[in-house]
Amino acid sequence: MTELELLKSRRELVVLAANLQRATIVRRLERIEDNPARRLLGYAANVVRRPALMSLGAAAMRFAVRAYRRRSARTKH
């Protein structure tokens, strides 16, 4: 294998690694945007604006906080 071929193969590996990292970042960003706890928090914030549904909003908020704490506890270990 010549030095030029070696450099070309290394370049291909670097480009492949960069594409994989980009795909991973895109996937993680999509997961953050589609996070159900985040949606639930937005829903709870809308519900809290209406006094009749205050208790439902509080329950949704408790659920979201509990889910967030469980998830963050899993990622710490």
Q: What is the number of domains present in the chain?
A: 2
Cα–Cα dist 21/29, whole Å = 12
Residue 43 · residue 35 · CB < 8 Å: no
Q: Are residues 29 and 7 in the same domain?
A: yes
pLDDT of 63 reads 86
Instruction: Report CA-CA distances (Å) from 2 to 5, 7, 8, 9.
Output: 5, 9, 10, 11
Q: For residue range 5-25, what is the model confidence (pLDDT) as tens digits?
A: 999 999 999 999 988 998 888
Length, in residues, of the chain: 77
Do 40 and 75 fall into the same domain?
yes
Can you tell me the mean pLDDT for 57-69? 82
pLDDT given at position 52: 56
* This prediction's pTM: 0.42
For 21-50, the pLDDT digits (tens) are 988 888 887 777 777 777 777 776 766 666
The Cα–Cα gap between 64 and 58 comes to: 10
Domain span holding position 55: 36-77
Residue for token pair 């193969």: 9
